[in-house]
Amino acid sequence: MKTSHHSVGKRIKQKRIEKKLTQSELSDTICSQAELSKIENGLNSPTVQLLGLIAKRLGTSITTLLEDYEMTDRFQNIDRQLLSLMREEQYLELLLLIENRFSLESDDEIKLLLRYHQVIAEYRLQRIDFRTASVILLQLANSKDLVYDAPMMYIRIKMAISIFYAENKQFTQAEKIYKELETTDFLSVTMKVQQLKVLYNHAKLVYKIKGFKKGVLICTTGIEQSAQLNHLSYIAHFYYQRAECYEEMYGFDNRTRNDYTMAYELFKALEMKRYVKIVEDTKKQFLKQFHHKPK
């Protein structure tokens, strides 16, 4: 199991510098200066009790220290621009934009983002095959403790590799990556929510390859973890996905009807109109409020 104590240490160091405290001043009566130094450099992970004491002295909360660094506005703007071109399948324009930016860019994480989009665009243009693309992305994911220093990018890169494998019917390899991401121990709430996305994509994959029993188990785990994080939209999606598995296994069954109905009610409560319409258009016969057994 991997932990993101590198990110915690960086956040503590950042807050300490903002407060204009030395390591000696921050650690006084809390822990040794040597211990604090190891924490800030990602060599040790603080206990919850120690983290609470550090947070109190820094005038912040444990939650703030556990949260990963937020992406900068510039990072987000560049990412949105690249994603827009990617969605519109304007791969040549995307590659030109990356080429113009890359040599002028000094921020390592933005350069990583550019390289990530570049590999995907080259794969979509069939300039490289999926194995080459996967190897390049894997090298990016394994560089410089990315799982600790830029966990959001780590997940995105790994997910892209898994998608490449699935598109090329290498389902065992795709599942292996999903399982790795699901068992990575991220501390921040932000990253735990990202793991829900991993679980959901995993569930969709096993449904596609008719692994319905496995899909039920993955969705059940997803529902439980979504509830712990109070993330209602993911709960709704997992109920819908589990219902699809039940439908394939049992047809017009109480389990199927219960899950479609639960997903539908959540979609309505959350005003997710697109998904409400999907259920009404394709699964209405399963909904309890429109109960009638199909002929």
Complete domains list, the chain, with CATH? 5-66 (1.10.260.40), 69-184 (1.25.40.10), 195-295 (1.25.40.10)
- For residue 170, give Cα distances in angstroms to 134, 175, 201: 12, 9, 15
The token duo for 247 is 């439908």
* Residues linked to residue 185 through DSSP beta bridges, in sequence order: 3
Interacting residues of 167 by C-beta distance below 8 A, sequence separation 6+: 130
The yes-or-no verdict on residue 172 having pLDDT over 60 is yes
Comparing CA positions, the residue from 291, 207, 271 lying closest to residue 243 is 207
More confident residue, 47 or 67: 47
Answer for the pair 21, 163: CB distance below 8 angstroms, yes or no: no
Q: What is the distance between the alpha carbons of residues 222 and 207, in angstroms, rounded to a whole number?
A: 15
Helices 33-40 and 5-18: angle between axes, nearest 10 degrees: 120
The yes-or-no verdict on residue 145 having pLDDT over 80 is no
Q: What is the distance between the alpha carbons of residues 105 and 99, in angstroms, rounded to a whole number?
A: 10
**How confident is the model over 204-222, as pLDDT tens digits?**
999 999 999 999 999 999 9
Q: How confident is the model at residue 1 (pLDDT cuts 50, 70, 90)?
A: very low
